[in-house]
Homo-oligomer: A and B are copies of this chain.
Amino acid sequence: MMQAVCLMSGGMDSSTLAYVAKDMGYDILALHLRYGQLTETKELECAKKIADSLDASEFLEVSLDYLTQIGGSSLTDPSMKVHDHGEEEDKGLPNSYVPFRNANLLSIATSFAEARHADAIFIGVQSSDYVGYPDCRPEFTEAFQRLIDTGTSDEVDIRLQTPFVRLNKTDILRKGLELGVPYENTWSCYRENRPACGTCDSCFYRLEAFRELGIEDPIPYRKAL
């Protein structure tokens, strides 16, 4: 059976992605990363529920506490403010950017995939998404495929799958609803473990996607925009 390492944050996108991988016939090796983000307890709980619902054959939880030591992001540094949507001035990167985070996640995923002889890695990045994180661009994931091809044993052939890279949140939600993703077991808020704040960038775009499809988001919110 084909196996895929799925990066599962517990959020809406990566949960939908794992359902897509399963639907494509892959057995799931779930990989969940903690990196000192404010909502890591809730995200872990959600990732586990989604992995269970997909009968994942392994659930690997890895701590990247060093991203907190390195700092430089409002997601990992409690002294930096998590902005409300629209509050941050529109110049350069948002302060929620964690330097080169996706390369760290994908390197771990590749080590995991190589050790298990898996066929693919699924990551839910989107370039057309709300923020211009450089490590979400298609050029970045293409460069990562080249890195995998040159840096792993010639005996393995691991494909980096990013089916969402040119989709937006509404497209993803539509796909997930078709596949029956239990969105009550997903979490997107940057700020709180429960209820979701409703106003950070991540909540804003999640709520917008549900609104566009005319459906109610099943998770609890403190305050909706």
Q: Which A92-145 residues sit within 8 Å CB-CB of chain B?
A: 92-93, 97-104, 106-108, 110-112, 114-115, 134-135, 137, 139-140, 142-144
**Known contacts A103-B103, A143-B149; can you find 10 more A-B pairs with CB under 8 A?**
A92-B153, A98-B111, A100-B111, A101-B111, A134-B150, A135-B151, A140-B150, A140-B151, A143-B143, A143-B146
Assess the A72–B115 pair: CB atoms within 8 A.
yes
A209 vs chain B, min Cβ distance (A) = 26
- Report if A152 contacts B (CB, 8 A): yes
| Category for how many chain A residues contact B | 35 or more
Give the interface segment out of A43-51, A63-71, A161-169, A171-179: A63-71
CB < 8 Å neighbour of A70 from B69, B102, B115, B139: B115
* Closest chain B CB from A1 CB (angstroms): 20
